[in-house]
Structure 1
Amino acid sequence: MSTGIGDTLREAREAQGRTPEDAAHALRLRSGQVRALEEERFGDFGGDVYARGFLKSYAVELGLDPQPLLDTYRAEISSGDPMATAPLVAPGSGIGVGGPRRRSAPPGWIAWVLVGVIVLAGLAFIGQLAGSRAPEQASSEPTEAPVAPADDGDAAPDEPTTGPDEPDEPDEPVAPAEGIELFLALEADSWMRVTVDGTIVFEQVASEGETLPFSGEDEVTVRFGNAGGVRVELNGEDLGTPGPRGSVVEVSYTPDGQSEA
Structure 2
Amino acid sequence: MSIGNSPDDNSPEDARPFDGERADDSASERLSIGRALRQARIAAGLTVDDISHATRVRIVIVQAIEQDDFAPCGGDVYARGHIRTLARAVHLDPAPLLAQYAEDHGAGAAPTPANPLFQAERIRPDRRGPNWTAAMVAAIVVVIAFVGFTMVKGGDSGNTAKPPAAKGPETSSGRPSSPAPKSSKPAQKPEPTDSAIAAAPRDKVTVQVSATGGRSWISAKDHNGHVLFDGLLKQGDSQTFQDKDKIDLVLGDAGAIELYVNGKKIQDDFQPGQVERLTYTKGDPVTG
What is the TM-score with the length of structure 1 in the denominator?
A: 0.35
Q: Relative to total residues, which structure has the larger strand share, 1 or 2? A: 1
Q: Relative to total residues, which structure has the larger helix share, 1 or 2? A: 2
What is the TM-score with the length of structure 2 in the denominator?
A: 0.32
